Structure 1
């Protein structure tokens, strides 16, 4: 049963999560060799939790171009491995120093810091191993493009660069600095969060060898969606609770970081998230009804509670 057979977003998201979880389970290493502790940490941090929203975007974009299920699921698994690695490292004491992730102890709390670092490193490497394999796509040029674009999205000019900016971020209270602050936060989040979301939303077009206008439409969708996603994250950090979030709320306030909420306030931030979600959906007009699940995903991003 393909993803496109589901008309309701909740059902489609659950189907995508279950499908990619099975694929990830097959791709992850296991065994009782000397490095078994590393395998256990990798599996602990990447399986059995999370909405798999990035994986959903890969699968949903792939359906627009009739991409095979195997290609889409392997690519979706790769992005989830990178995402899991980023969360492991993000929770470390040297970063956000969080003891909880997805409602259970963070990797470094369940194992130890050194094992957590190695598990993150190994998950990142596995992602590129999966993308480079011929089972992901028969065309080497497509595989090369996927590898290059995920490397860019996750590296110094993407997620990792955004994390560096996040570590340096300080709360700016002066009203005269608002415009500069919003610009800086927007750039930070485009890198830290938006780059991986953009890869996820456009991966199906790469796999399907889509035309440039179609890729551009999905890229524009991802741009606005990524910002809406982060603004909602900032709102949840203020308004959410540990049961719903599965992680410790209030970390940004405690660290004194500038966020969309700290600059705009709750109501303006919420309104901006809604506007961005509507703009994101409008970028999909050229795809017609085939993109309905992606439109529903834009609404979900700003309505979610975790």
Structure 2
């Protein structure tokens, strides 16, 4: 990874670029990191050491947006799909491989603008039609999916795992995950709207957006799981989003490389910084046990 850090895409000063250019650069960096680490379906399914090493590698400190895109792509999307691909949906293996190779951008549409963390009571609906297809719909603007970066970027087609309340014969059977194509790398798919959100201050820009659906037709294969009514809807739902908990741990582990980098900078600073005692003998500041006695020392640069 040290060689990748020295490559052109990491030497660029992203803060001097426009927002769109910064976003594009972050996608390039995320792809480069992911391919260099060689994350596989096995890694995302079993949360191997290689999976955790990705989140604690010092290169993740260089671009916060790239690290966010990586954990969405590999944990939330590839990780969730890998569970189905390894059990009931072998047809999804090729899609997971495309996501891992960054041939496709993967997104995870769970939370809604008007509900916050009350995700079990989401309003986005997926109604089973007589043809076996599903009608995916956002009833109100407040029901739009919040945060996932779904606008077209870098020529990557985008697919998402979208959670919606499943309705069968007028009966709500609880929130279920659906596989939905969002854009074809240039334009949003029919019935899908993505509204770019303003950037957050003090952070690397990610193209976060509000995503809504206007009676989008989905094939029967879009449903991840089955139509069966369950007596444990809440437990089943929590099981389907358990990679969110994994993501919390993964993003928290990013503190490790950040502390490593901060410690290195502090150590190098203290090696450079000197103090001179009242007797005129300069010494590295790191050699002093304490600097509380300000009468005995005065700081000066080399």
TM-score (norm 1): 0.26
Bigger Cα Rg: 2
Q: Which has the higher contact order (CA 8 A, sep 6+)?
A: 1
TM-score (norm 2): 0.26
- The answer to which structure has the higher strand fraction is 2
